[in-house]
């Protein structure tokens, strides 16, 4: 029901679960049976509610393989360099809240903020934070618009596919899906506190052997900040290469970019 998004009969769930789901609009009728509109996944032992499969709606709240890799990237970075107890953290495009809550589990005293343009994402991120026993402030906005101050850690796991369906959770815009990553990284770097870090997890279209995303991100470095850039997987979403938007692309690589700024 909540893992594989399969239809189920009314008698399969006890009334104290079925009725709240029905009352909240969390069920849909499928040929006389029910189907949950929500899905539940476990990341590092923590449960997250997100959109059911398949995620075809433009405003779907996605949680998938990239979410797990993003959580591992965050954990590895904070293991290497823990956050200060008073750290201010923002997860831009938080979705179901995986990035922010991963930090919260590793740095319990950090002040957590999640932003997203998708109101449904913020609603589910709040539910997931409550279930995890964490305090997550959520704000519906693009990037950091309307939010004051600087941050000790900024998390970015933006969409990075050129999507004809304009699905919010998937479409990364121009530059073969890389424009959103560049725009958000530029906005984030301007809001890092002294000694702050930006963790970006995204995809990069490799064209004629060149990683243009890496080249452009490197040009954003200033004020003594350093960039650590790694290719995590050389070839993902190979099926996209048959689409017109990728006619000149060799491959799509999964990458991480960690910016570290001096104190």
Give whole-number Cα distances, 208 to 89, 229, 246, in Å.
Answer: 37, 19, 12
Residue 203, pLDDT above cutoff 60: yes
The Cβ of residue 90 has, within 10 Å, a number of other Cβ atoms equal to 28
- Give pLDDT tens digits for 148-181: 999 999 999 998 877 665 555 566 566 777 788 9
- Closest by Cα among 145, 99, 154 to 125: 99
Average pLDDT score over residue span 17-42? 91
Give the C-alpha separation, 129 to 102, whole Å.
Answer: 10
Q: Which residues, listed in sequence order, are joined to residue 161 by a DSSP beta bridge? A: 171
Determine the pLDDT at residue 171.
61
- Give pLDDT tens digits for 124-142: 999 999 999 999 999 999 9
Determine the pLDDT at residue 222.
82
- Give pLDDT tens digits for 61-97: 999 999 999 999 999 999 999 999 899 999 999 999 9
Helix (H, G, I), strand (E, B) or coil at 4: coil
Give the C-alpha separation, 137 to 233, whole Å.
Answer: 33
Residue 255, pLDDT above cutoff 60: yes
Determine the pLDDT at residue 252.
92
The larger pLDDT score, comparing residue 146 to residue 58, is at: 146
- Closest by Cα among 196, 244, 245, 249 to 224: 196
CA distance from start to end of the chain:
49
CA dihedral 144→145→146→149, nearest 10 degrees, is 40
Determine the pLDDT at residue 167.
58
- Closest by Cα among 51, 114, 96, 101 to 75: 101
Determine the pLDDT at residue 214.
94
Asked whether 168 and 59 are in contact (CB, 8 A), the reply is: yes
Determine the pLDDT at residue 98.
98
- Closest by Cα among 203, 223, 198, 204 to 99: 198
Determine the pLDDT at residue 111.
98
Tell me the pLDDT band of 47, cut-offs 50, 70 and 90.
Answer: very high
Determine the pLDDT at residue 170.
60
Helix (H, G, I), strand (E, B) or coil at 54: coil
- Closest by Cα among 104, 94, 89 to 61: 94
- Give pLDDT tens digits for 234-246: 998 888 888 888 8
- Give pLDDT tens digits for 205-222: 999 999 999 999 999 988
Determine the pLDDT at residue 53.
87
pTM given for the model: 0.92
Determine the pLDDT at residue 173.
64
Asked whether 107 and 98 are in contact (CB, 8 A), the reply is: no
Query: Whole-number mean pLDDT of the chain?
Result: 91
Give whole-number Cα distances, 127 to 107, 135, 232, 253, in Å.
Answer: 20, 11, 31, 33
Asked whether 231 and 162 are in contact (CB, 8 A), the reply is: no
């Amino acid at each position: 029901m909540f893992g594989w998004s399969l239809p189920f009969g009314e008698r399969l769930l006890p009334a104290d679960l079925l009725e709240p789901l029905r009352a909240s609009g969390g069920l849909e009728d499928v040929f006389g049976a029910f189907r949950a509109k929500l899905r539940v996944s476990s990341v590092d032992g923590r449960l997250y509610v997100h959109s059911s499969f398949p995620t075809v709606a433009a405003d779907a709240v996605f949680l998938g393989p990239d979410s797990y890799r993003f959580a591992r990237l965050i954990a590895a970075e904070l293991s290497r360099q823990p956050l200060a107890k008073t750290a201010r953290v923002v997860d831009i495009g938080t979705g179901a809240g995986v990035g922010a809550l991963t930090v919260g589990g590793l740095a319990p005293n950090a002040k957590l903020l999640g932003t997203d343009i998708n109101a449904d994402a913020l609603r589910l991120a709040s539910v997931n934070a409550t279930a995890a026993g964490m305090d997550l402030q959520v704000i519906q906005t693009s990037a950091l618009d309307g939010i004051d101050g600087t941050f000790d850690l900024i998390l970015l796991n933006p969409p990075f596919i050129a999507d004809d369906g304009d699905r919010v959770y998937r479409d990364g815009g121009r530059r073969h899906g890389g424009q959103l990553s560049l725009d958000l990284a530029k906005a984030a770097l301007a809001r890092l506190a002294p000694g702050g870090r930006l963790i970006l997890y995204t995809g990069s279209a490799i064209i004629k052997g060149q990683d243009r995303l890496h080249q452009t991100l490197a040009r954003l470095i200033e004020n003594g900040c350093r960039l650590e850039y790694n290719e995590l997987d050389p070839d993902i979403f190979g099926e996209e290469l048959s689409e017109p938007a990728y006619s000149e692309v060799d491959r799509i690589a999964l990458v991480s970019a960690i910016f570290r700024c001096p104190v």
